[in-house]
Amino acid sequence: MSSHPTIEDFRRYLVVERRVSPLTTQGYLRDVGFFVAFITEAEGDFQPQKITRRQIRRYLALLHRKRLKPATVGRRLSAVRAFFRYLVNRKGLEVDPCQHARTPKLGQRTPRFLSADDAQRLVEHPVGFDPAGYRDRALLELTYGGGLRVSEVVGIDLDDLDVQSAQVKVLGKGNKSRIVPIGQHALTAIELWLDRRPELSKSGTCRALFINARGQRFSVRSVQRLVRMARASCIQAGATPHWLRHACATHMLGSGADLRSIQELLGHSSLSTTQKYTHVDLDSLMKSYDRAHPRAHASDAE
């Protein structure tokens, strides 16, 4: 094997062979870069064939000393693991130093989400009769109504939309497409936006459903900025676009939807991912019980 395989080789492998999304590829390269910097600082250069299990353990120990969250440590280790698996399988590296490295245990993290009232306040925040106002309202309604990831909603093209059947095709993680139903509120908002979309479509060549003032595809960062502006209308602080996705799943579960249906809607590959919303709903149930049930607390007479 080459004595100095480059990170660029790994990047091409991720993009061309694994067909990993640009954001995920960027994350892998960033996390591998942290490890390369650690080894280079300690050894003077980076030679993968000389990396030992002890160096992997020292790197993990450094991350723990920095008090990084277990999820962050696990993600960085996962990227380094993927890099060395690539070297073993494609570059002839004889020993994988990550083979026995332990991933830190992750506690069950309850998703943060908006209440139904706050979700309504957020999606109804964009006002005005200019094209941008109609676009922003339609985008937020569709994100909440379909439980979409930000990357999914900005990736929708006009050809993906079927207004007649109230459905939209979205491209999720792993380049897997799925059909998502469009609720009536979102559908009405989208139809109003489509009437005004030509006013922003400069050349008419961009096929994205949501476009900016320059006629280009609306970006993930622009959606994040939109939510930051709109969350002032919410009682709960700190709303993010992903909270709308969590809110969609939680509110559906609370209204009686089954987990399989929610899994299909959100595009989860594993039902265990969807099951985290049962913990959220149980938390809500217990809080309601404590507030309302006459037997939830000891009486003053006891």
Choose the final residue of a domain: 91, 126, 142: 91
- Which pLDDT belongs to residue 302? 43
- Confirm whether 300 is domain-assigned: no
- Which pLDDT belongs to residue 217? 95
Model confidence, pTM:
0.61
* Residue 294 pLDDT level (bands cut at 50, 70, 90): low
Residue 11 has pLDDT above 70, yes or no: yes
Residue 299 has pLDDT above 60, yes or no: no
Residues 83 and 133 in one domain: no
Residues 50 and 166 in one domain: no
Q: 3-state SS of the chain?
A: CCCCCCHHHHHHHHHHHCCCCHHHHHHHHHHHHHHHHHHHHHHCCCCHHHCCHHHHHHHHHHHHHCCCCHHHHHHHHHHHHHHHHHHHHHHCCCCCCCCCCCCCCCCCCCCCCCCHHHHHHHHCCCCCCCHHHHHHHHHHHHHHHHCCCHHHHHCCEHHHEECCCCEEEEECHHHCEEEEECCHHHHHHHHHHHHHHHHCCCCCCCCECCECCCCCECCHHHHHHHHHHHHHHCCCCCCCHHHHHHHHHHHHHHCCCCHHHHHHHHCCCCHHHHCHHHHHHHHHHHHHHHHHCCCCCCCCCC
- Residues with Cβ < 8 Å from 274, sequence gap 6 or more? 249, 259, 262, 263, 266, 268
- Confirm whether 19 is domain-assigned: yes
Residues 220 and 74 in one domain: no
Residues 149 and 69 in one domain: no
Residue 1 has pLDDT above 50, yes or no: no
246 among known catalytic residues: no
242 among known catalytic residues: yes
Residues 82 and 215 in one domain: no
Which is the catalytic residue, given 18, 53, 173, 185? 173
Residues 258 and 220 in one domain: yes
Residues 76 and 168 in one domain: no
CATH number at residue 284: 1.10.443.10
245 among known catalytic residues: yes
What's the token pair of residue 237?
Answer: 């602080």
Which is the catalytic residue, given 18, 57, 242, 276? 242
53 among known catalytic residues: no
* For range 166-174, the mean pLDDT: 90
Q: What angle do CA 126, 122, 259 make, to 5 degrees?
A: 135
CATH number at residue 73: 1.10.150
Sign of CA dihedral 80, 85, 88, 89: negative
Which is the catalytic residue, given 125, 245, 246, 251? 245
Measuring CA to CA, which residue among 268, 119, 128, 141 is closest to residue 209? 141
Tens digit of each residue's pLDDT (9 = 90 or more) over 230-261: 988 888 888 999 889 888 888 888 777 887 88
Residue 206 has pLDDT above 80, yes or no: yes
Residues 145 and 229 in one domain: yes
- Confirm whether 70 is domain-assigned: yes
Number of domains in the chain: 2
Residues 126 and 249 in one domain: yes
- Confirm whether 110 is domain-assigned: no
Mean pLDDT score across all residues of the chain: 85
Residues 147 and 240 in one domain: yes
- Confirm whether 108 is domain-assigned: no
- Which pLDDT belongs to residue 246? 87
- Which pLDDT belongs to residue 84? 94
Residues 283 and 165 in one domain: yes
* Residue 148 pLDDT level (bands cut at 50, 70, 90): very high
Measuring CA to CA, which residue among 292, 289, 282 is closest to residue 254? 282
76 among known catalytic residues: no
Residues 137 and 51 in one domain: no
Give the range of the structural domain holding residue 170, as residue numbers without chain letter.
116-290
